[in-house]
Structure 1
Amino acid sequence: MRKIVTIIALLLAGFGYAQDSGKAKALLDEVYQKVKGYDNIYVDFKYALNNKAENIRQETRGDVTIQGNKYLFNYLGATKIFDGNKVVTIIPENEEVVIESPDVEEDNAITPSKMLTFYREGYNYSWDKQENVRGRQIQYIKLVPIDTNAEMKEILLGIDAQTKHIYDLIQTGKNGTKTTITVNSFKTDQPLSGNLFKFNAKKYEDEGYYIIEQ
């Protein structure tokens, strides 16, 4: 009898996990379809890094405009532009511009163009906690990398249950570092300049910038 009870409990647990994973996938699919339905997206965000063991805490903000796989990313005083072919990083502090191919970036990195869709590949996911944030119901999905050698332990992806927009992302590394990205402002289908994702090399040459092309 005890063995039968154990087997039933395991079967129910497995069924519960399948339902749990199915709910998580369904919500992530809704988020993805919502994102792909916009012509462009602007996100203003807060970035916080915390490692208690090393007594490190950093906070800053940034913003990104995304259209398809193109993006304009402002962060830590630098600007990164991807026009679909080349990644251009403009660093005013050093009066330097670096132009490189996108394959220089790691394939598994959450790049600006992937930050709203990265969860589609490379993760197992499950239903997690729900929190009330200033009247908004935020449902969390736990993402665990399929690659056991990945530096991150898990990601909690917070989704606004009403709008199906991403509210925040909490990444925990195996070294204990916790990185949180919180969306302050999320705007869609904004009027964009036709030159937004184009790099004007002459402008920066005239300003005395050192341009490095790799």
Structure 2
Amino acid sequence: MKKLFVFIFISFSLIAWSQKIDANAKKLLDNVSERLSKNSTFYIKFNYLYVVPKQKSITETGQVYAAGVKYHLILPTTTQIFDGNKIYTISKEDKEITSSNKEDGESLSPTNILNLYKKNFDISFEGTSTINNKKCSIIKLVPTNNKQSKSIILAISNNNLIKVTENYKDGSSLILTIIDFKENLIVNKSLLTFDKNNYKDYTLTEL
């Protein structure tokens, strides 16, 4: 679950390494980052595909509501809530809830999503492509540390993130396609808080 959320928000721990950066590609990323920082409340609906060599692919549809550092991620079998203090991961199948500290939630916050590339990746412009009838600029990010990712491919159109593909060193891939993106909306406060009364039959574990 945490791996998926890290992928969705292109999030790695910050480490200072030398970088090879294409100026045009970085400008595109800066524009997306700036736009999201100005619109701290938004909703994203996405398709998520996990591909593993010689295994059956996994596909799901998910949603994210975000306001400031707080967020609510919804997947078919799992929900994750960060209320500004703790992050709660709720397994619907197992009826289990785990909570972890504030630092984990902050590192994955939607308001931080495209700032982390500034220190962690070599960045190159890979040309253009049409995705879902939208002309997209393709940007490749290669980690400059020893993380398990081999590369991340971003498709950007009109300062919007359209598609993300993360390729791993073991040959597997995560592919996320944005279906819907709404900004400057009012997010119901109940979505951004955790209430144990809503999960009376669940077991809560503090990590």
Instruction: Pick one of 109, 120, 123 that aligns with 2:121.
Output: 123
Q: Secondary structure at the match of 1:159?
A: strand
Question: Which residue matches 1:44?
Answer: 45
Unaligned runs of 5+ in 1: 1-17
Question: Which residue matches 2:59?
Answer: 59
Unaligned runs of 5+ in 2: 1-19
Q: Is 1:173 paired with 2:168?
A: yes
Question: Which residue matches 2:202?
Answer: 209
Q: Report the count of equivalent residues.
A: 187
Q: Give per-residue Cα distances to partners, 1:135-184, cap 9 Å, x unaligned.
A: 3111111101010x211111111101xx2110010111111112110001
**Cα offset for 1:134?**
4.0
After TM superposition, the score normalised by the length of structure 1 is 0.79
Q: Is the 8 A contact 1:130 1:138 kept in 2?
A: yes
Q: Secondary structure at the match of 1:140?
A: strand
**Cα offset for 1:115?**
4.3
Using the TM superposition, name which of 93-102 and 172-181 deviates more. 93-102
What are the equivalent positions in structure 2 for 1:26-175 lying under 5 Å apart?
26-52=27-53, 54-103=54-103, 111=108, 113=110, 114-147=112-145, 149-160=146-157, 163-175=158-170
Q: Is the 8 A contact 1:49 1:56 kept in 2?
A: no
**Cα offset for 1:116?**
4.8
**Cα offset for 1:68?**
1.9
Q: Give per-residue Cα distances to partners, 1:20-60, cap 9 Å, x unaligned.
A: 701111111111111111131111001111133x3341111
Instruction: Pick one of 181, 195, 200 that aligns with 1:186.
Output: 181
**Cα offset for 1:76?**
3.9
Q: Point out which structure has higher relative CO (alpha carbons under 8 A, 6+ apart).
A: 2
Residues 134 and 210 of structure 1: is their aligned pair in 2 closer, same or farther, counting only changes over 3 Å? closer
Q: Is the 8 A contact 2:65 2:187 kept in 1?
A: no
Using the TM superposition, name which of 127-136 and 24-33 deviates more. 127-136
